[in-house]
Amino acid sequence: MSLDHLPEGFEPAEVFPLAEYLCEEMIERGWTTDDVAVRMLTTRGAGMDAFIVAAVLSVHKDSLVIDDETFDGLARAFGVSGELFRNLDAAWRRWPAKRSPFSAPDSVFGPVVSNGLDAARKAAP
């Protein structure tokens, strides 16, 4: 299912980034980015997936491209359809004026990602 089935002129009151949904589900389960990555079971491996999940949680820009492998991996991790994640992302992109602000708490970032973030912060001018 896509957003194409919506009636002409439909406009939601608010849309939120995929990151907000992911973050809420991760907190509810007590998971970090590392926990999600291990459950995604993609061909890239858990280490790369941990960074991809962190990017989805941190980067809320139209320029962030989320590929099918990521949508499908997230679906496996959370036990839902990949279409859920595709539709959340599509709605957020389709209605930029209706976007709600969001910032993921540090607690959802696992050690793999946190170590990389710490290194990046130290290297930053």
1 belongs to a structural domain:
no
99 forms beta bridges with 15
Q: What is the total count of domains within the chain?
A: 1
Euclidean distance between CA atoms 64 and 54, whole angstroms: 12
By three-state DSSP, how is residue 59 classified? coil
19 belongs to a structural domain:
yes
Each of the 125 residues of the chain gets a pLDDT tens digit; together they read 455 565 566 665 677 788 889 999 999 999 999 999 999 999 999 989 999 999 998 877 778 889 999 999 999 999 999 999 998 888 888 777 776 677 777 888 877 655 555 554 455 44
Q: Which domain holds residue 76?
A: 14-123
109 belongs to a structural domain:
yes
CATH number of the domain within which 41 lies: 1.10.260
86 belongs to a structural domain:
yes
3 belongs to a structural domain:
no
